[in-house]
Amino acid sequence: MHSISSLHLSRSNFLTPIEEMELLLLALLFFSSLAPNSAAAELNTTRRALAGAAGCNIFRGKWLYDASYPLYDFSKCPFIDDQFNCLKYNRPDRSYLKYRWQPSSCNLARFNGLKFLERMKGKKIMFVGDSLSLNMWESLSCMIHAWVPNARTSLIERQGLSQLAFLNYGVKLLLYRTPYLVDMETQNVGRVLKLDSIRNGDAWLGMDVLIFNTWHWWTHTGSSQPYVFFIACEIFFDSIKR
């Protein structure tokens, strides 16, 4: 089973192909902190990105050290869970924060949280997956917050579904926790993973952007595996023997 990363954008909105690519890149962005460029430098970066976008494959490239990173300050972001807040617990090295993704065939504009909110005004963005999706959801929240630290926000966290809204812009960032994407339910034989059922996907309806992730939990075996059987086309398979 391979990881799944997928993006869907409503074609009825006003996003350009460049903006769609910028959104897709969010799946590569993790914890960063605020260090904005000058207006002139930012404009030049944007122009270079636009010029090369037509033939750009953002999936081919490499991570480059960038002394201006990270894109936000951990200590000033209110949306990071303790389990992801390495600096809060005195991780000694910080060089891992100073890397950015550089595609081979084009340049990407530096992230601008204010522009992002303006482009996505009234839109809903949902991350669907496991703790990696949680990581990305918190990262994007902090990246935006660094640009608008005084913006009115509303945070609702429930089991399985969380939502952060930037109220001044009508932008909602949602997280739907599901390690396998497909349904898992308890039956008389134990917990069963249903490979051909995705009823929980009803929660994703109405989203303007969906970013999926699944991989880590598929590798679990033995006592760390949360299901006993999996089923496809009404046929049960003993997962313990796989």
Which residues of the chain have a pLDDT value below 70?
1-54, 186-191, 194, 217-218, 220, 222-242
What is the structure's pLDDT at 126? 95
Structural domain contains residue 77: yes
pTM (2 d.p.):
0.69
The span from the CA of 226 to the CA of 229, in Å, is 10
Of 46, 205, 209, which Cα lies nearest the Cα of 122? Answer: 209
Task: Please enumerate in sequence order all residues whose Cβ is within 8 A of that of 24, keeping only pairs 6 or more positions apart, or say none.
Answer: 7, 58
Mean pLDDT value across the chain: 76
Structural domain contains residue 1: no
Residue 217 is part of which domain span?
A: 7-241
Q: How many domains is the chain built from?
A: 1
